[in-house]
Amino acid sequence: MTDKHSDTTHFGYQTVATKDKAGKVAEVFHSVAAKYDIMNDLMSMGIHRLWKRQTIASSGVRKGHRVLDLAGGTGDLTAKFSELVGDTGQVILGDINDSMLKVGREKLRNLGLVSNIEYVQMNAEALPFPDNSVDVITIAFGLRNVTDKDKALRSMYRILKPGGRLLVLEFSKPTHESLSKLYDFYSFNVLPTMGQLVANDSESYKYLAESIRMHPDQDTLKAMMVEAGFEQVDYQNMTGGIVALHRGFKY
């Protein structure tokens, strides 16, 4: 976590200037954007689709809603939300990285999803929307890359309508030591090798593994959401805690 008054923060296991982190994260995602979907399937053996399906099921999204799919990348959640909100609703695919947005836009247009989707490049720490203007926010595998997570959570809380909800799908801390050891071996040995073979980029996938380890665990993130103003905050561990889905409401 970034100290609010600190000039440095973490980038994976490295310590970098706080002002430089967003640029370094951007370089990673510029590099991996073109192969992002295929690597997601390979890295998770397809299980990421089940994690996202559970997120959608927990979102409460319905016709007419305005949904922000933050750090939405290549648009997996946006595609489903587009169907759920219908012609009277809107889905905003927001990402800080223009390479990811371009891949997402092309993919969704190829699926014929056009009318109710907007694409906006944005920083999670300063969301470009009025107060109380969004029904649901999802951020899947994006919060760990944000420099100031507390500031981002407050920004999300600000733009949610009363009664709205935030869902954070993110890698977390495995609940069993044996699984944790196996996961560490996979993350730091298999993952970078896979990244090199498929995306010709082992360093970006090394960073992704490190960023997961530096992300707050389940209870810490829950406390951060409460601190930002969210109520009825809970989380659901999936795949033994490798991933957790946090949910909080604004009243």
Feature table: binding site for S-adenosyl-L-methionine:
74, 95, 123-124
What is the rounded distance in angstroms from the CA atom of residue 206 to the CA atom of residue 134?
35
**β strands within 146-201, DSSP E:** 160-171
Going from the C-alpha of 72 to that of each of 75, 76, 150, the distances in angstroms are 5, 8, 19
Question: What contacts 99, CB < 8 A, 6 or more positions away?
Answer: 29, 30, 33, 34
Q: Tell me how far apart the alpha carbons of residues 187 and 208 are, in angstroms, rounded to a whole number.
A: 9
Residues annotated as binding site?
Answer: 74, 95, 123-124
Neighbours of 128 (CB within 10 A): 12
